[in-house]
Structures are given as C-alpha cells and as structure tokens.
Chains A and B, each alone.
Chain A
C-alpha cells in the first residue's frame, strides 16, 4: 500500500480551497501552511496566463527527512505516509534542511491569530493539542481521516477535482490509472526521493 495523490494542474483554478480546508482541519498556526498553491504568470499581454501548482509534502518513498532525523521522530509508515511524532521531535531542524520541497515548518510558537487579545478562539483551542512549539510539522495526508475511510481534506475540498487521492500501489485504483495514462511526474524526481504526489500538467 502506498497512499499518494495525483494533482492535475491544468484543472487547478487557484481557488485555495485545499489550503483553507487543510488549515481548518489541522488548525495550523498563523503563517503555517502544510499545503498551499503556488502561482505565477506565464507569457505576456495579451497572451498572459496565470499558472497554479498546489504543493504539499510529497510523502517521499525514500524520504530524506526521515533518513536524517537523529531520533526517529520522522518515519515513513507502511502505507507510505511520512509523519512526524511531535512527542519525539527535538526540533533540531535537520529534516527541514534535508527536504528538497520546503514542505516542513519549524513551529516557533503556537500563538493563535489574535495574540493581542491574549486569548485563543474556541476553534484554536480545539486544535491546540495537534501542535507543539519547538517541533517540526508538515502535511500528514490526513492519516486520521484515511483511517476512518475518508479522503484527505484537500482533495475532498477541491471544487475542480484537480486532486485525486488513492493507493499508488494498487494497479486497479483510479490514481494508478491516471499516473500511467498521463505519465504523471513527481517534483525533482532526479533526486531519487520517490515522491508520492504526482503532477499532470
């Protein structure tokens, strides 16, 4: 089993629904995005176009972040999801330096969106237990939702069906079919990281 995602950038409309859904589900701190949409302009007027590319942790099969972690806080699970155990992470940030995709964030504080009021919103309080200052965090492919038989929040929220979640190791799955059909590529595959997020462009 190897969970992954195919992202069809030609379908992405840059609405950021995935990034917002991710923030809602995980209650990440201000400025922290486990998942975001990169945008840039191509061509020039009158033929200019906006381009969008959603990016997140690639849940690499040969995850460099897991290889360098000195205390085994980052691991690649049997189902291919790369997770960080925040109870073990010592915050050395070696994994941040090792990740070629800048997919990790070192959390300096768990302050909420309204620090000037000295309180956390009810929503922030419910998500507080998921985060710990001084540790590194990143996309966990909503492994808790997957365990309940649901799909990750980002792919669920995408209105353009640009994100398809599934098991890359299952040849009968839609995602495996899409990868084969479109020769979906991973980002910086030459590094040998074996990303489980593939792009159709």
Chain B
C-alpha cells in the first residue's frame, strides 16, 4: 500500500479535528461529533429504548413470534447481520491487495461496521436462545459435528480479524487473505446450516442456499459501501460488481423455483406453490421485484448518485426479504402436509429495531475510539517534532 493512500486514510473515522493547536499538543483533544453522527446517535438511542426492554422480556419469558415457525425474524436479522459483517470483511480484505484503493482508504470505517454487525449477530443468538446463558456451552462444550458451532467460531474469528484490521496501521496482505477466507466461511457455513437440515425438504441438500447466502452477503456489503462511504474512484467498479451479483442472485432464485416446481413433489412442490402464489408470495415477489429487479434496472440504465443510493437501499431491503423468504419457505409446510403460519410478535419487532440501534451504537463508539487514537498519535508526533 502506498504512503499516499495511507495518508489519504489517516482520519478514516472522519475525525472532526484538523490541526491540533500548539497548546493542546501534549493532551489529545477528543474529537467532536459531526451532525451525521449526532443524528445516528439519536436514532441508535431511540432504537435501543425500544430494543432493550424487548430483549429483556424475550430472554426472560421466552416469547417469540406467533405461529408454528421455528426460526423467524430474529434469525433473519442474525443471517443479515452476520452476512453483511462477514462480506464487508471479505471486501476490506480484498482491498489490502491494492485492488480497491478507495475501499482501502475507508478500511477502518468499514472494519468498524463489519465488527459491529458480527458482534450484534452473536448477540442475536443470545436473545433468540430459549435459555440464553447456556449459549456459553458452545464455547465450553462444543459439538463440532454441528455446523452451528462452526458458524459461531467463524463469526468470532471474523470479528477478531475486523478488529485487527481496524487497529493495525498497515495491515498486511496475509490479514487480507484471512479476512476473505473467514468472511466467506461465515456466509457459506450459514447457508450450509440450512442446507444440511434434512427435516426441511426445501433447504436440505439445496446447493443454491450457500451460493445465495454468499451472493446476498456480497450484495448487501457492496450496497452499504456505495451508500455510506465515499469511494468515487471505484464507484464504477463497485456498481458493476453489484450489478453482476444482483443478476446472479436473480438467476439462482429462478433456478431454485423452477427446479423445485419441475422436479419437486409432495412438500417441496407445495412449498414452491406457497412461495409463488400462496401466503409467501408478497415476500417472494417483493424480493424478486423490489430487491433484485428494480435495483438491477436502476443501476443498468442510469448511474447518478440518487439512482445508485436508491438501488443500494433496495438491494439491502431485498437481501433482508430474501433471507426471510428462505427461512419461512423452508418451514412453510409441516411434515403432515399442513401449512404453517407466522406473524412476528411486537416483541420480536421491538427486538429487531434494537439490533439496528445496537449496530449504530457500536459503529459510533468505534468511530470515536479510532478518531481519539488518531488524535493521540498526531499529538505524539507533533510533540516529538517540537522536542
């Protein structure tokens, strides 16, 4: 990585301070909040006011959504959060090879978001577990034949790598390599968690699910980068990549449905019917049209800042809907052929709002820490120069 790039990034967290005045050189000045950060802080606070009581009630009284579905909105948010966090890490890792200098310049900011998403994904596992304290058994007595355990450890490792990238001055390529490997490992393992579940015909041995999870993770990560980071020199490449990923996700979804409808029988055939024309149709078509097709068209025909931002937002919403769709479609038909129903409870919705607030809070705190460290480093440099 060149020194120029390094210089361009020195303040990734967009620290508000510029030059430390001479009288304050020995005492690092705590950077102020920008307006955007203040706004994000207020949103985070409001979300947490709703979220924290919901988490407490959910953890102490074991309340989940209404209906027969085993995994609902909480797990959707878990997959989304882990997917974004790990895929951001993979993209950041790639940038350490010098291929995406704009992303490299933003690596600290992106690593904070990646860490926040991965941390909150682990938190969701706690909130969603029936007996939260026993989740620690995954650490103390893990059963490695369960992919869930691998997923848990991959998430932990990915979060650790994000932190190292965040605090290292010049992260090495080996670290980038690890970031790519573990970033992808998280999404692939999560897809496989569903794909090995023989109890669910729509998931089991469906190779499309791990592929879809990787694609969806990357879509959300790139969309987020385009939405919140300034990477003008790479915008074209990132948009092209997003376009290709959206098209690929569309194809995988289409193949999944067509193969299921053509070859499937019994529960699988009923599941496809429920997805395409039944109770899950609004979700399915919402994902296909709003989350994949519209952003694809927007990016293909016009690339203004507004259209890119709209496409990015829709793509993230599409990933959210897509994961919920995958989860609910797998559980839509019970073993005896009856259809299950699911409606998230207010408590679940509140908990999910809380997760968003938690991610925002961690990102804001992370940015402050990074900015503070940068200020300290700078003041040390100036003192050394004066000495």
Instruction: Name A's B-contacting residues (CB within 8 A).
Output: 38, 55, 64-65, 67-72, 88-94, 96-102, 106-109, 132-136, 191-193
Given A38-B336, A134-B62, A94-B148 contact (CB < 8 Å): yes
Given A68-B197, A71-B138, A109-B62, A135-B143 contact (CB < 8 Å): no
Instruction: Verify if B293 is at the interface (C-beta below 8 Å from A).
Output: no
Instruction: Verify if B247 is at the interface (C-beta below 8 Å from A).
Output: no
A106→B143 contact, CB < 8 A: no
Instruction: Verify if B101 is at the interface (C-beta below 8 Å from A).
Output: no
Measured CB to CB, the closest approach of chain A to B54, in angstroms, equals 16
Instruction: Verify if B10 is at the interface (C-beta below 8 Å from A).
Output: no
Instruction: Verify if B51 is at the interface (C-beta below 8 Å from A).
Output: no
Measured CB to CB, the closest approach of chain A to B251, in angstroms, equals 27
Interface set, chain B 122-155, CB cutoff 8 A to A: 125, 128-132, 134-135, 137-138, 141-143, 145-149, 152
Instruction: Give 27 pairs: A residue, B residue, CB < 8 Å, sorted on A.
Output: A38-B336, A55-B336, A64-B198, A64-B199, A68-B197, A69-B143, A70-B137, A70-B142, A71-B134, A91-B129, A91-B131, A92-B125, A92-B128, A92-B129, A92-B130, A93-B70, A93-B130, A94-B148, A97-B199, A97-B203, A97-B330, A98-B198, A99-B199, A100-B199, A107-B130, A109-B61, A134-B62
B130→A102 contact, CB < 8 A: no
Give every chain A residue within 8 A of B336 (Cβ-Cβ).
38, 55, 102
Interface size class of B (residues with CB under 8 A): 35 or more
Instruction: Verify if B71 is at the interface (C-beta below 8 Å from A).
Output: yes
- Interface core residue of A68, A94, A107, A191 (most chain B CB under 10 Å): A68
Known: A90-B131, A97-B331. 18 other contacts (CB 8 A): A70-B142, A70-B152, A71-B138, A88-B137, A90-B130, A90-B135, A91-B129, A91-B134, A94-B197, A97-B70, A97-B194, A97-B330, A98-B199, A100-B335, A107-B62, A109-B62, A134-B62, A134-B130
Instruction: Verify if B114 is at the interface (C-beta below 8 Å from A).
Output: no
Give every chain B residue within 8 A of A69 (Cβ-Cβ).
143, 146
Instruction: Verify if B274 is at the interface (C-beta below 8 Å from A).
Output: no
Given A97-B200, A102-B334, A108-B64 contact (CB < 8 Å): yes
Given A38-B336, A68-B148, A97-B199, A134-B138 contact (CB < 8 Å): no
With CB as the reference atom, state the residue of chain A lying closest to B132: A90
Instruction: Verify if B362 is at the interface (C-beta below 8 Å from A).
Output: no
Given A68-B146, A69-B146, A93-B70, A88-B134 contact (CB < 8 Å): yes
B143→A72 contact, CB < 8 A: yes
Give every chain B residue within 8 A of A67 (Cβ-Cβ).
145-146
What separation, in Å, do the CA atoms of A96 and B340 have in the docked complex? 14
- Interface core residue of B71, B146, B152 (most chain A CB under 10 Å): B146
What separation, in Å, do the CA atoms of A69 and B148 have in the docked complex? 8
Measured CB to CB, the closest approach of chain A to B386, in angstroms, equals 57
Contact of B137 among A38, A71, A99 (CB under 8 A): A71
Give every chain B residue within 8 A of A132 (Cβ-Cβ).
131
What separation, in Å, do the CA atoms of A98 and B281 have in the docked complex? 25
Give every chain A residue within 8 A of B130 (Cβ-Cβ).
89-93, 106-108, 133-136
B contact patch SS: loop
Given A93-B130, A108-B62, A135-B131, A71-B143 contact (CB < 8 Å): yes
What separation, in Å, do the CA atoms of A7 and B278 have in the docked complex? 35
What separation, in Å, do the CA atoms of A69 and B138 have in the docked complex? 10
What separation, in Å, do the CA atoms of A193 and B138 have in the docked complex? 25
What separation, in Å, do the CA atoms of A157 and B64 have in the docked complex? 35
B64→A90 contact, CB < 8 A: no
A97→B138 contact, CB < 8 A: no
Instruction: Verify if B196 is at the interface (C-beta below 8 Å from A).
Output: yes
A68→B147 contact, CB < 8 A: yes
B62→A91 contact, CB < 8 A: yes
What separation, in Å, do the CA atoms of A102 and B143 have in the docked complex? 23
Measured CB to CB, the closest approach of chain A to B335, in angstroms, equals 4
Give every chain B residue within 8 A of A193 (Cβ-Cβ).
198
- What 7 A-B pairs are tightest by C-beta distance, nearest first? A91-B130, A134-B130, A90-B134, A71-B137, A70-B148, A100-B199, A102-B335
What separation, in Å, do the CA atoms of A70 and B132 have in the docked complex? 14
Instruction: Verify if B14 is at the interface (C-beta below 8 Å from A).
Output: no
With CB as the reference atom, state the residue of chain A lying closest to B130: A91
Measured CB to CB, the closest approach of chain A to B281, in angstroms, equals 23
Measured CB to CB, the closest approach of chain A to B259, in angstroms, equals 18
